[in-house]
Amino acid sequence: MGERLYRTTGIIIRRMDVGEADRLITVLTPEGKLTATARGVRKTASKLAGHLELLSECQLQLARGRSRDVITQSMALSRFEPVHNALLTMAAGYYVAELADAMVADEETAPGAYTCLKQTLQHLPTAPTVDMVLHWYTLQLCDAAGYRPQLVTCVVCGQMLTEAAERWSVRQGGMLCNDCRRMDSQAQLIELAVFKVLRFTQRESLAVVMTIKQPPEVHDRVFALLRQWVMQQSERRLRSATFLDDVRRAQS
Ligand SMILES: [Zn+2]
């Protein structure tokens, strides 16, 4: 009986009600993503309730089930309280959770994804601009999930990219040099400022990236390119993006 139980720590990135009182909980752990059942969690007397909130970091005990594992114990380690104190960081929180769910496949390991989500939730409330944190998060998450866009060397011929490069190809997987610009007729023209933000953000640490200031139109463009990238790789729509954009617009 003992080996049916195991423990893990993870951040809750998705919750879905099922049946009368159960909930499916999707957790990003240092080992990858898992979805388990929390039985009876919507009943007020449930011992699990309150310990399985969206964006909480929890210590979980699970029992292996035939189809799905079942959460038997849960203790919230951190709720990232400051994220929930402002509408903008809350919208950003939903967005990063949805991105993690989209990019990391079920039962798949994605080394680094968990750390990058945790760092993002810790820094969102204090960052001078939420936008830079979100760009950084998206690029690091893509990297962790094995979908890193190629921004240093040409994705077709491999030569080092210069500032003259201006075509972004989702189909090829990154930037094209000028010799290869015709390799994808649907490659998009991107401005140098946008290319620089993408490169810088992919390369640097969050501490460095989050202090950078950019005009709103550059942020909008980076958001658009990275979302298109994520949706292409994950074949998913991002439902939280509209909410995030509404809040960003209202506060700019
Ligand atoms: Zn090339």
Residue 122 confidence (pLDDT): 97
- How far away, in angstroms, is 159 Cα from ligand 1 center? 6
Token pair 């959770």 is found at 97
- How far away, in angstroms, is 160 Cα from ligand 1 center? 8
Q: Across the chain, where does the E strand assignment appear? A: 5-18, 22-29, 32-38, 57-63, 69-78, 167-169, 174-176, 188-189
Residue 110 confidence (pLDDT): 85
Say whether pTM exceeds 0.75. Answer: yes
Partners of residue 101 on adjacent β-strands: none
- How far away, in angstroms, is 158 Cα from ligand 1 center? 6
Name the DSSP class of 160: B
- Domains in the chain: ranges and CATH: 5-78 (2.40.50.140), 81-251 (1.20.1440.120)
3-state secondary structure of 106: strand
3-state secondary structure of 85: helix
- Give just the sign of the alpha carbon dihedral 201, 204, 205, 211: negative
Q: Which residue ranges in the chain fall short of pLDDT 50? A: none
Residue 251 confidence (pLDDT): 86
